[in-house]
Amino acid sequence: MPNENSLAGCSSAPVLKERGQHEVFCGLTSIIWLHRKMQDAFFLVVGSRTCAHLLQSAAGVMVFAEPRFATAILEETDLAGMADAQLELERTVAELLSRRTDIKRLFLVGSCPSEVIKLDLATAAEKLSEKYFPRVNVINYSGSGIETTFTQGEDACLEAVIRGLEPSEEKQLLILGALPDIVHDQMLRLLDQLGLKNVSVLPQIRVEDEVAVGSNTYFICAQPFLGASFDEMVRRGAIPITAPFPFGANGTTAWLKAIADTFGVSENTFKAVTDAPRRRAELAIEKVSKILKSRSVFFFPDSQLEIPLARFLNQECGMNLIEVGSPYIHKTLVGPDLELLPETTTLSEGQDVDKQLDRLLLGAPDLTVCGLGLANPLEAKGFTTKWAIELVFSPIHFYEQAADLASLFARPINRSEKLKIGRVA
């Protein structure tokens, strides 16, 4: 149930807008989960050795594992304009596609260096798409770290995919967002039990899983960081369904209910499908979240999951919110979660890390959710932290994962309680 003080909501509360130093990974990071999800796609980053190192260390892949991503390294001659980077890119793509016949979709991913030298990847993708049609579809998007955060990589990728979808006037439901397989299957099972048949998911697992879009397409995001994809769907004429995100028992129920109401599913069917898993999730959360109750939490801006997760921690686990920071706030997309936050919450968008650290010291939260770069120094200062990126890589959506989600936040508090006891003993 909502906390009493959340009833007024936070949807029109002032937002502290900050534009200073920010501490986040770049959009290339999302290739790590996207390449696993899109099984016939290859991600070719057009970037520097730094980009290659980021991918290599984030994915932990060894060269002989033939991963479905790589970096076409821009050498100094390219950066200085002494070589024709377009020609070199065409040569690299030709070599890659002759060696890897399994590739059906090739993403040319822009980076900071390719943007700085203004390499026109859109034209390159168009030319290569014509050249390799129909065997390979070539699409470009930017994963650059200039003024972005890591989940925007998926957003930019899906936005580019949506731009190229075929038109269709068929009535259908389209779900946006890459989800771990186990969660993806649970979601489709729930929608099937509700009687929804014409359901597609973006990103598609394989290019044969045809997805089209038009004015009879209803869509809902399963991830809160898909603002540009959301806007592109609207531009393509599709109708958005907005709801709190499917985190926890309440979030999942509200998300499914918004879909059920749009497609005229009866109340009886809805209850028959959701009552039992909802109850199970509520009980499981209750058990795990005892240690979270009445504790305070502070979110640094990182994954763009912050607002829905803050709603979950406050509404379903009884935590107090000191500050909820998010790199970007797309008010239409996260509006239903914002409405459920307590009016007293400080909301911040963007980052000025020093000022935010000052606010953290003043707030002295029991738990701080932040990026890897801040976590260790804050732990050393006695703060209990949770790595935000872990929340993106873990299955946390829908009923069956609700207790796991609560325990991701409970674990660090448990750990620091035990350490305190150890120190006293």
Which residues form the interface with ligand SF4 (CB under 6 A)? Answer: 26, 28, 47-48, 50-51, 54, 111-112, 143-145
CB of 376 to ligand SF4, least distance (A): 20
Nearer of residues 108 and 313 to ligand SF4, judged by Cβ: 108
DSSP 65: G
Instruction: Determine the Cα angle at 319 with ends 363 and 259, to 5°.
Output: 125
| CA gap 74, 101 in Å, rounded | 25
Helix axes 152-163, 227-235, angle to 10 degrees: 20
Cis status, amide bond into 203, omega within 30 of 0: yes
DSSP H or E stretch at residue 338: helix 331-338
By C-beta, is 28 or 103 nearer to ligand SF4?
28
Are the C-beta atoms of 227 and 328 separated by less than 8 Å? yes
Please identify, using beta-carbon distances, which residue of 133 and 393 lies nearer to ligand SF4.
393
First and final C-alpha spacing in the chain: 39
CB of 74 to ligand SF4, least distance (A): 10
Instruction: Please report where in the chains the tokens 């497609």 appear, as a residue.
Output: 263
CB of 146 to ligand SF4, least distance (A): 7
Q: Which residues contact 288 (CB under 8 A, 6 or more apart)?
A: 403, 406, 407, 410
The CB-of-144 to ligand SF4 minimum distance in angstroms stands at: 5
For helices 181-193 and 248-262, the axis angle rounded to 10 degrees is: 50
Could you tell me if 336 and 242 are in contact, meaning their C-beta atoms sit under 8 angstroms apart? yes
Q: How far is the CB of 45 from ligand SF4 (least distance, A)?
A: 8
Minimum separation from the CB atom of position 111 to ligand SF4 (A): 4
Distance CA 159, CA 166 (A): 14
Question: Could you tell me if 260 and 243 are in contact, meaning their C-beta atoms sit under 8 angstroms apart?
Answer: no
Residue nearest to ligand SF4 (CB): 145
Q: Which is nearer to ligand SF4, 26 or 202 (CB)?
A: 26
Our CB check for ligand SF4 shows the closer of 156 and 338 to be 156
Is the separation of the CB atoms in 224 and 251 below 8 Å?
no
Closer Cβ to ligand SF4, 25 or 298, answer by number:
25
| Least Cβ distance, residue 112 to ligand SF4 (angstroms) | 3
